[in-house]
Amino acid sequence: MKKKFELPEIDYKIVADLVVPVIGPFIQAGIWYGFSKIDKKAALMNKLIAVGEVIPAIDLGLPKGVTLAALYDTVDDTLELLQSFIKSIKEIPSSVEEAVDKFIAAVKPSSFEERVNQLVDDPTERTKILSDYQDCLSGYHRDIPALAKNDITKNTYIASCMAQKGYAAAALKEILGIG
């Protein structure tokens, strides 16, 4: 006779007390990020939040999720602000300034054109890839409604368009910087 497998009793209140503080900020971030993509005023608020949170003397007292989403949304602007803030400090060691510049160069995403120039040696092929990419990008702006425009739909549309033009999936992942 087989033994019946019994699940142990789990106190889900304890699990929730442990899990909610960890995933709560990410849920807040997702909601705020989505809202800021829909509402232009919220997108502008992201820039103000990012400016306020980069400067150590300012604490806005916002929920962690909102701050996370604002910094994620405006990462390029935030990095530039941090760089200019550090350069404005009079007595900062050059090693710190170099470390920040190196960090920003490593974190800042490269443009499509920069990646193509790094990966493709033949100038004729490079020109064709850039032309096809611009064609796909203009199709994205023409075909996708404004409410649905984001990095995910953009990368999906462009990858699909480039694949239809005959580019291999592995090359697309490397050149587009996805996957």
- Identify whether 18 is part of a domain: yes
Q: Are residues 69 and 139 in the same domain?
A: no
Pairwise CA distance, residues 148 & 45, whole Å: 21
Q: For the beta carbon of residue 10, count every other beta carbon within 10 angstroms.
A: 8
Closest to 158 in 3D by CA, of 64, 171, 146, 138: 138
For residue 1, pLDDT beyond 70: no
Mean pLDDT of 131-147: 88
- Identify whether 8 is part of a domain: no
Q: Are residues 83 and 17 in the same domain?
A: yes
- Identify whether 2 is part of a domain: no
Tally of domains in the chain = 2
Containing structural domain, residue 128 = 112-176
pTM for the predicted model, two decimal places: 0.47
- Give the chain's mean pLDDT: 80
Sign of CA dihedral 171, 174, 177, 178: positive
- Identify whether 141 is part of a domain: yes
Over the stretch 36-63, which tens digit does the pLDDT of each residue have?
Answer: 888 888 888 888 887 777 776 777 888 8
**At which of 48, 80, 107 does a domain end?**
107
